Amino acid sequence: MKIDVVFVNPGNKKITFQNLGVDLAAVEPPFMIASIAAYLRNNDISVNIIDSNAENLTPEETAKKINEINPLLVCMIVYGGQPSASTQTMAIASKMCTIIKQNCSMPIVIAGLHPSALPQRTLEEEDVDYVIEGEEQIPLKRLIEVLKNNLSLDEVPGLWYYKNNMIVNNQKPKLIDNLDEYLPMAAWDLLPMEKYKAHNWHCFDNIDERQPYGAIYTSLGCPYKCSFCCINATFGKPSIRYRSPKLVVDEIEHLAKEYNVKNIKFIDEMFILNENHYMKITELLLEKNLDINIWCYARVDTVKKDFLPKMKKAGFNWFCLGIESASEFVRDGADKKLKYRDIKEVVKSIQDAKIRVLTNFIVGLPDDNEKTMQETLDMAIDLNTEFFNIYSAMAYPGSKLYDEAIEKGIKLPSNWGDYSQHAKNQLPLSTKYLSAMDVLKFRDKAWQEYFTSKKYLDMIEEKFGVKVVEHIKFMTSKKLERNYEN
What CATH number is attached to the domain comprising 33? Answer: 3.40.50.2300
On whether both 103 and 202 belong to a single domain, the answer is: no
Q: Is residue 486 included in any domain, yes or no?
A: no
Q: Is residue 383 included in any domain, yes or no?
A: yes
Domain stops at, among 169, 199, 233: 169
Least-confidence region, from 161-175, 181-195, 258-272, 402-416: 402-416
On whether both 142 and 220 belong to a single domain, the answer is: no
Domain stops at, among 142, 169, 196: 169
Q: Is residue 48 included in any domain, yes or no?
A: yes
On whether both 200 and 94 belong to a single domain, the answer is: no
On whether both 332 and 376 belong to a single domain, the answer is: yes
Q: Is residue 55 included in any domain, yes or no?
A: yes
What's the pLDDT score for residue 81? 64
What's the pLDDT score for residue 334? 41
Calculate mean pLDDT across residues 132-144: 97
Q: How many domains are contained in the chain?
A: 2
On whether both 238 and 384 belong to a single domain, the answer is: yes
pLDDT > 90 in the chain, percent: 76
Domain stops at, among 134, 169, 204: 169
Calculate mean pLDDT across residues 134-146: 97
On whether both 87 and 233 belong to a single domain, the answer is: no
Stated pTM of the model: 0.94
On whether both 122 and 220 belong to a single domain, the answer is: no
Confidence of residue 328 (pLDDT cuts 50, 70, 90): low
On whether both 278 and 353 belong to a single domain, the answer is: yes
**Using one digit for the tens of pLDDT, what is the confidence trace for 380-390?**
999 999 999 99
Least-confidence region, from 91-95, 112-116, 397-401, 449-453: 397-401
Q: Is residue 483 included in any domain, yes or no?
A: no
SS3 letters across the chain = CCCCEEEEECCCHHHHHHHHCCCCCCECCCHHHHHHHHHHHHCCCCEEEEECCCCCCCHHHHHHHHHHHCCCEEEEEECCCCCCHHHHHHHHHHHHHHHHHHHCCCCEEEEEHHHHHCHHHHHHHCCCCEEECCCCHHHHHHHHHHHHHCCCHHHCCCEEEEECCEEEECCCCCCCCCHHHHCCCCCHHHCCHHHCECCCHHHHHHCCCCCCEEEECCEEEECCCCCCCCHHHCCCCCEEEECCHHHHHHHHHHHHHHHCCCEEEECCCCCECCHHHHHHHHHHHHHHCCCCEEEEEECHHHCCHHHHHHHHHHCEEEEEEEEECCCHHHHHHCCCCCCHHHHHHHHHHHHHCCCEEEEEEEECCCCCCHHHHHHHHHHHHHHCCCEEEEEECCCCCCCHHHHHHHHHCCCCCCCHHHHCCCCCCCCCCCCCCCCHHHHHHHHHHHHHHHHHCHHHHHHHHHHHCHHHHHHHHHHHHCCCCCCCCC
Q: Is residue 453 included in any domain, yes or no?
A: yes
On whether both 157 and 132 belong to a single domain, the answer is: yes
Q: Is residue 174 included in any domain, yes or no?
A: no
What CATH number is attached to the domain comprising 334? Answer: 3.80.30.20
On whether both 383 and 297 belong to a single domain, the answer is: yes
What's the pLDDT score for residue 330? 60
On whether both 164 and 297 belong to a single domain, the answer is: no
Q: Is residue 176 included in any domain, yes or no?
A: no
On whether both 365 and 294 belong to a single domain, the answer is: yes
- Whether the pLDDT of residue 331 is over 70: the answer is no
The Cβ of residue 288 has, within 10 Å, a number of other Cβ atoms equal to 15
Cα distance between residue 419 and residue 97, in whole Å: 19
Structural domain of 234: 181-477
**Using one digit for the tens of pLDDT, what is the confidence trace for 93-109?**
999 999 999 999 999 99
